[in-house]
């Protein structure tokens, strides 16, 4: 092999590794959720799409959306304050108390309201007023059912109102802040409303439920916003970058840095914080964790929130590389072989698995697929690789070995 060939090989390899990092970003979300609740969240890809779509459309949306959002947030914050006041007045047997217990933070009411809003959006062809209702209601729903804290609801909604009505100039930051809240809200609401009530079901049933959720989120995302391809520019040019004769994509390098930062942040979070340590205990043994009084439910909420953040980051990276479009959620499927290879419970595994998948699919495509097989092999190489790992090392590279008992 002469030098030119070698440099080309290195270029392909590095390109593969860097694009693999993008899979790792999605895989991270899967691992987090799996560690905390043994749920294989198929809907992570839809969350990624939802995040990217929400962000890009919030940067494009017209002023009346923000006006509606701001005022609605204020109204809902008022409602939350009312709820709080009613709950404070918990004189036993009083009519007020009965009323607040009976009608206020009731999940079915909120779900029904949510369904009505989504339907209205569809019939109305995505008017900004209904979009605003959707965004504020989603936050309200999440805060009152998932977090169950009117105090938080008031804070977040007032924050939303401020952002919507006042920060006119900073389009990107405004969109990012609101998207972050909405994506976290959606992730937590999914956990609280759909998955937690199913906690005693078989893992495979939960898995299929997340496939259903995947469809719902995709449908809502595209219904609330739209299904067109949107360009997303987060300010990093995707130009090649010359390093001693080897060309790297600047954007991919940036994505790598983001992933590294994210992993470091997660690692610190899990090593140093109380919630993180609790999560590790939960991952080791649910029953034991419960019996020493670790509040599983709070942990689930935190983990889903974290998975929402990771999904948003992944969505922004994917979106700016490929444009925000439906196929993002399909590409996210490749995170599945990634965690199979890395192990379902290992954060470093998600990164290494992503690198392996990225490198393999690129090298195979360039050196075998295109010359000999007519190309397009990237469609299946990750899954074949995953299958072989499953055959020979079912727990993945970093997962714990599963011993069955009777």
Partner 1 sequence: MFYREVGQYKSSYPADQAIFPLSNDRIGVMIILLIAFIWPPLSGSQYLMGPILTQLLVFGLAALGLNLLTGYAGQVSLGTGGFMAVGAFGCYNLVLRLPEIPIVIDFILAGLMAAAVGVLFGIPSLRIKGFYLAVATLASQFFLLWIFDHVGWFTNYDPAGVASAPTQTFFGALTGEGRALEFLAPIDVIVSGPNATPETKYVLTLAVVVVLALLAKNLVRGMTGRAWMAIRDFDIAAEIIGIRPLRTKLLAFAISSFYCGVAGALYVFTYVGNADTEAFDLIRSFTILFMIIIGGLGSVMGSFLGAAFIVLLPPFLNIVASNLGEGTLSGAALANLELIVYGGTIVFFLAVEPLGFARMWQIVKEKLRQWPFPY
Of 162 and 288, the one with the shorter C-beta distance to ligand ATP is 288
404 makes contact with partner 1 (CB under 8 A) = yes
Helix (H, G, I), strand (E, B) or coil at 113: helix
- Please, what's the largest Cα pairwise distance for the chain? 87
Closer by beta carbon to ligand ATP, 63 or else 394: 394
For residue 117, give both structure tokens.
Answer: 């809003």
Which partner, ligand ATP, partner 1, none, binds residue 218 by CB below 5 to 8 Å per kind? partner 1
Quickly tell me which residue has 């799996």 as its tokens.
34
**Which of 343, 336, 347, 338 is closest to 394 using CA atoms?**
343
Closer to ligand ATP at the Cβ: 204 or 403? 403
Contact between 379 and partner 1 by CB under 8 A: the answer reads yes
Site for partner 1 in 333-352 (CB under 8 A): 333, 336-337, 340
61 binds partner 1 (CB under 8 A): no
CB of 23 to partner 1, least distance (A): 14
| Minimal distance, residue 394 CB to ligand ATP, in Å | 16
Nearer to ligand ATP, 62 or 403 (CB): 403
Are residues 287 and 53 in contact, defined by beta-carbon separation less than 8 angstroms? no
Of 3 and 403, nearer to ligand ATP (C-beta) is: 403
Are 345 and 35 in contact by the 8 Å Cβ rule? The answer is yes
Q: Which two tokens stand for residue 24?
A: 């790792």
Q: Which does residue 403 bind out of ligand ATP, partner 1, none, counting CB within 5 to 8 angstroms by kind?
A: ligand ATP
Piece in contact with partner 1 (CB under 8 A), picked from 98-106, 173-181, 350-358, 386-394: 386-394
- Evaluated on CA atoms 32, 36, 40, 42, the torsion sign reads negative
Checking phi first, is residue 396 left (phi over 0); if not, alpha (psi -120 to 50) or beta?
left
**383 belongs to the binding site for partner 1 (CB under 8 A):** yes
Return all residues near 322 (Cβ < 8 A) that are at least 6 apart.
328, 331
156-195 footprint of partner 1 as x/- string (CB under 8 A)? --------------------------------------x-
- Summarize as ranges the residues that interact with ligand ATP (CB under 6 A): 403, 405
Give the pair of three-digit tokens for residue 163: 């952002």
Cβ contact 164:66 at 8 Å = yes
Query: Which of 272, 405 has the CB closer to ligand ATP?
Result: 405
- Confirm if 133 and 72 have CB atoms less than 8 A apart: yes
Nearest to 213 by CA among 191, 241, 240: 191
Please report how close the Cβ of residue 39 comes to partner 1 at its closest, in angstroms: 10
Angstrom distance (rounded) from CA 21 to CA 15: 10
Of 76 and 117, nearer to partner 1 (C-beta) is 117
How far apart are alpha carbons 308 and 351 in whole angstroms? 18
Nearer to ligand ATP, 4 or 403 (CB): 403
Angstrom distances, CA of residue 199 to CA of 141, 193, 256, 369: 21, 11, 35, 44
Take residue 109 and report the two structure tokens written for it. Answer: 């009411």
Size of the site for partner 1 (CB under 8 A): 51
Q: Which residues bind partner 1 (CB under 8 A)?
A: 40, 118, 122-123, 125, 194, 197-198, 201, 203-209, 211-220, 222-223, 226-227, 330, 333, 336-337, 340, 373-377, 379-380, 383-384, 386-387, 390-391, 394, 404, 406
């Amino acid at each position: 092999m002469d030098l030119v060939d070698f440099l080309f090989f290195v270029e392909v390899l590095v390109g593969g590794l860097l694009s693999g990092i993008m899979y790792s970003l999605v895989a991270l979300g899967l691992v987090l959720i799996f560690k905390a609740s043994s749920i294989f969240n198929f809907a992570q890809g839809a969350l990624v799409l939802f995040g990217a779509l929400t962000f890009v459309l919030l940067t494009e949306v017209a002023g009346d959306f923000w006006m509606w959002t701001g005022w609605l947030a204020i109204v809902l914050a008022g409602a939350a304050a009312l709820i709080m006041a009613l709950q404070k007045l918990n004189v036993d047997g009083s009519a007020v108390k009965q009323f607040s217990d009976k009608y206020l933070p009731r999940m079915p009411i909120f779900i029904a309201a949510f369904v009505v809003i989504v339907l209205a959006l569809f019939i109305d062809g995505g008017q900004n007023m209904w979009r605003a209702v959707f965004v504020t209601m989603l936050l309200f729903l999440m805060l009152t059912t998932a977090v169950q804290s009117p105090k938080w609801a008031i804070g977040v909604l007032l924050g939303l109102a401020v952002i919507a009505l006042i920060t006119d100039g900073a389009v990107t930051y405004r969109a990012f802040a609101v998207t972050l809240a909405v994506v976290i809200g959606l992730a937590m609401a999914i956990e609280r409303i759909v998955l937690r009530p199913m906690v005693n079901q078989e893992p495979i049933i939960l898995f299929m439920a997340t496939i259903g959720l995947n469809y719902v989120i995709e449908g809502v995302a595209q219904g609330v916003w739209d299904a067109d391809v949107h360009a997303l520019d987060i300010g990093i040019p995707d130009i090649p970058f010359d390093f001693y004769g080897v060309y790297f994509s600047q954007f991919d390098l940036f994505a790598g840095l983001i992933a590294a930062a994210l992993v470091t942040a997660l690692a610190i979070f899990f090593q140093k914080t109380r919630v993180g340590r609790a999560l590790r205990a939960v991952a080791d043994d649910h029953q034991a964790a419960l019996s020493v009084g670790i509040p599983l439910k709070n942990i689930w909420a935190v983990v889903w929130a974290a998975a929402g953040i990771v999904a948003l980051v992944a969505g922004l990276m994917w979106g700016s590389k490929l444009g925000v479009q439906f196929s993002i959620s399909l590409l996210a499927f490749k995170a599945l072989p990634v965690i199979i290879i890395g192990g379902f419970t290992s954060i470093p595994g998600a990164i290494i698995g992503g690198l392996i998948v990225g490198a393999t699919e690129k090298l195979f495509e360039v050196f075998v697929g295109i010359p000999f097989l007519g190309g397009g092999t990237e469609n299946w190489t990750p899954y074949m690789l995953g299958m072989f790992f499953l055959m020979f090392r079912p727990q993945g590279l970093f997962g714990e070995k599963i011993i069955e008992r009777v």
